[in-house]
Structure 1
Amino acid sequence: MSPRRVLALAQLANSIGDGAYLVTSALYFARIIGLTPTQIGFGLTLGWAVGALAGIPIGRLADRHGPRGVAVLLAVTTATAVASFVLVRSFAVFVLVACLYGTAQTGLSAVRQALLAGLIEPAKPTEVRAVLQATLNGGLAVGAALGGLALHLDTREAYLTLFLLDAAGFLAAALMLLRLPAVPAVPSRRRPAVLRDRPYALVTLINTVMLFYMPLLSLVVPLWIAQRTSAPTWLVSVLLVINTAGVLLFQVRVARRVQGLPDASRSVRHAGLVMLAACMVFALSATGSSAWLAAAVLLIAMALQVLGEMLQAAGAWEISFALAPDDKHGEYQGFFGTSVALARMLGPVVLTTVVMGWGAAGWLVIGAGFLVAGLAMAPAVRWAERSRTRTDTSAQPASPE
């Protein structure tokens, strides 16, 4: 079985459980464990913060010992963390498990990118990453449907079953990853090189801003629909289906158009423009009292949002791979992966404050943020290219006289 297929099957195995977890976890923590919303928010935020800090050390560990073994270990650790949620009875233990979960999830995502870079030919990682993203969304959709069934039953047993299903999915992924060829380890250096790579740090920061679409979709849009529009609340599930189906059907096609850093920068720039348009349309959904008109506007906004998401993802994948030195993919992907954890950690606070606090004007501010980030990516990438060229030139041995 080819490495591409093994990676896809491993992604599918854990994404089904992840979909169920995303749909049910908040209610499980609140209704079964008995945590308050503030406690849940604090615990998960701290967990992703710890995960962000652990990204570089885990990436260096993958470079030093080989990404396959580290990926298997992190998949098993994630399964352990998810299963441990079943045993949580107090806030303190919840925080510890949330930190373990955030660290393992963030690390696994980064190390998978290092595996991809080591196993797939240099011209193909972005296209293969798009296939994996489509697979991820398909698994999330199946898991979300199972989560909906658990929410309908609303019993402790139903919630626990899904958490154990998620844990089993990560164990299955670990077994599949063991079937991959080993990627050679590379010598480690005393100091992480990525921490001295300021252009790559800027690119990662810009990507973090672009990834604010994640809490926008999962948190802000549902709150906006419920509190600021006349649309029915069940439309939230329809919008989620549109997002998932859009990525599943079109992500690979969008990614195939990205062939090199100029295309990647252009893709992110277009993503910023499209996300601005999406935010402007979201703002319009609050006008008028017609539920059907509000629903129609929200459907248009979501179509724009998913297009922007796919453009951003395709560009970011190419940029993260192309700018990383060949012998430091674990370290660099670990650092770039912190943008996901940071967006999950900071996004809810920023977006709910601006959008829910300022209304339509808040949507315009967030849209402007996407636009500025999208426009800033190209010059940041050019700076990173120049910096890497100078580094490669200085590292070459002098020619003999």
Structure 2
Amino acid sequence: MTASSRRTLAHAQLASSVGDGIYLVTSAFYFARIVGLSPTEIGLGLTLGWAVGSVAGVPLGRLADRRGPRGVAVLLALATATAVACFLVVRSFPLFVVATCLYGTAQTGLSAARQALLAALVEPSERTVVRAVLQATLNGGLAVGAALGGLALHLDTREGYLALLAFDALTFVAAALVLLRLPAVPPTQASPTSRWGVLKDRPYALVTMINAVMMFYMPLLSLIVPLWIATRTDAPSWMVSALLFINTVGVLLFQVRVARRVKGLRDASVAVRLAGLVMFAACAVFAMSSSAWLWLIAGVLLQVAAEMLLASGAWEISFTLAPDDRQGEYQAFFGTGTAVARMLGPAVLTTVVIGGGTPGWLLLGAVFVAAGAAMAPAIRRAEARRSLEPA
């Protein structure tokens, strides 16, 4: 892969992640105050959107394999722009659900197509490091988008929200145009498979399920820790922003360094196991913040370390265990862990942690430890299956 292609992938990632940052910060307020939806309607609509997206991801990933990932990625970036543009005009719950389903489908498919594009353009030994560079870029873009979204929240006007969402849509148009600058990747000529495709690969499904459990860390800083701060600590409200800032800067500075240490499945399994242990430590420290809120800073430092270890290991696992001619399909399936965490994580973790207090934090940490420890034997099983497949 040329340095030019790497920069192009990073620029496309930056453009779309700025839009994602805007959406994450402003969408809930926009849907409630401008569209006029109730919190229940917003939650149900977003859940349905990500549920549809998780189901559509694998067929779209397979499409990327069969038609070429660059073209499919461009089309899905434009589809995401269309979905965001739809949010500008929807004023009823049924149309909101339609728009969220389009958004969830396009976003999930776009992620899979970009992963397939990366796998096709990058040598196997470099994929995890390049993916880490893109993740660091993503965090930088999210920070910029969040800052722009914060401006809209400060103004709190209909025009401000509409302008930012329109800009959000344009960022995905820009990402599509940038992706067109990459070399064309020919479609793969995969061997015939059953109509169940990746779903029939049980060892890979097991690895994906374990990763999905580990991905339940995702709602921690965006929802669970803020609720914990508000209900169980005397920490100032600005601490929420400070913790998100520490997380973002940590990934920007250290994700690539962490990823460089993962060179093969053995390293990846060690990284995921260590991530589970560090996440347990983070949960225990967050629990201690009920008596002294400064423990929150130590907790987020541990959490971001675990996040970077998990990401580096998961990227290596997902790429290495997937057949080269079916990367789009397999990456889409592996990515369902993110959709599951987005759908179920808020409800499950709110019940366990906010409802359970310190025991809830420790139970959550124990789940991370168990999932991290389960990854190594699951990888060995998947490797054994691959060794039995015909060359």
TM bin (shorter chain) = over 0.9
The residue that corresponds to 1:268 in the other structure is: 272
2:324 counterpart SS class: coil
Structure 1 distance, partners of 2:44, 2:360, is 24
The residue that corresponds to 2:339 in the other structure is: 341
Structure 2 distance, partners of 1:214, 1:145, is 20
Match of 1:117 among 116, 119, 128: 119
Structure 2 distance, partners of 1:372, 1:107, is 30
Q: Does 1:248 align with 2:239?
A: no
Residue identity opposite 1:215 in structure 2: P
Q: Does 1:299 align with 2:301?
A: no
Q: Is the 8 A contact 1:264 1:314 kept in 2?
A: yes
The residue that corresponds to 2:29 in the other structure is: 27
Residue 255 of structure 1: CA displacement? 0.2
Alignment deviations for residues 291-327 of structure 1 (CA, whole Å, 9 cap, x no partner): xx31x10010000000000000000000000000111
Match of 2:314 among 304, 313, 316: 316
Residue 241 of structure 1: CA displacement? 0.4
Structure 1 distance, partners of 2:11, 2:90, is 30
1:359 counterpart SS class: helix
The residue that corresponds to 1:363 in the other structure is: 361
Residue 254 of structure 1: CA displacement? 0.3
Residue identity opposite 1:314 in structure 2: S
The residue that corresponds to 1:222 in the other structure is: 226
Aligned sequence identity (%):
71
Structure 2 distance, partners of 1:121, 1:330, is 16
Residue 3 of structure 1: CA displacement? 1.4
Structure 1 distance, partners of 2:120, 2:360, is 43
Count, aligned residues: 387
The residue that corresponds to 2:387 in the other structure is: 389
Alignment deviations for residues 16-64 of structure 1 (CA, whole Å, 9 cap, x no partner): 1211111111111111111111111100011111111011100111111
Residue 9 of structure 1: CA displacement? 0.1
Q: Is the 8 A contact 1:150 1:159 kept in 2?
A: yes
Q: Does 1:86 align with 2:93?
A: no
Match of 1:138 among 137, 140, 156: 140
2:91 counterpart SS class: coil
Runs of 5+ consecutive residues of structure 1 not aligned to the other structure? 288-292, 397-401
Q: Is the 8 A contact 1:192 1:331 kept in 2?
A: no
Structure 1 distance, partners of 2:326, 2:39, is 40
Q: Does 1:185 align with 2:190?
A: no
Residue 388 of structure 1: CA displacement? 0.6
The residue that corresponds to 1:399 in the other structure is: none
1:35 counterpart SS class: coil
TM-score (norm 1): 0.95
Matches for 1:10-49 after TM superposition, within 5 Å: 10-49=12-51
TM-score (norm 2): 0.97
Residue 193 of structure 1: CA displacement? 2.9
Match of 1:129 among 120, 128, 131: 131
Q: Does 1:155 align with 2:157?
A: yes
Runs of 5+ consecutive residues of structure 2 not aligned to the other structure? none
Structure 2 distance, partners of 1:338, 1:104, is 13
2:262 counterpart SS class: coil
C-alpha RMSD of matched pairs (Å): 1.0
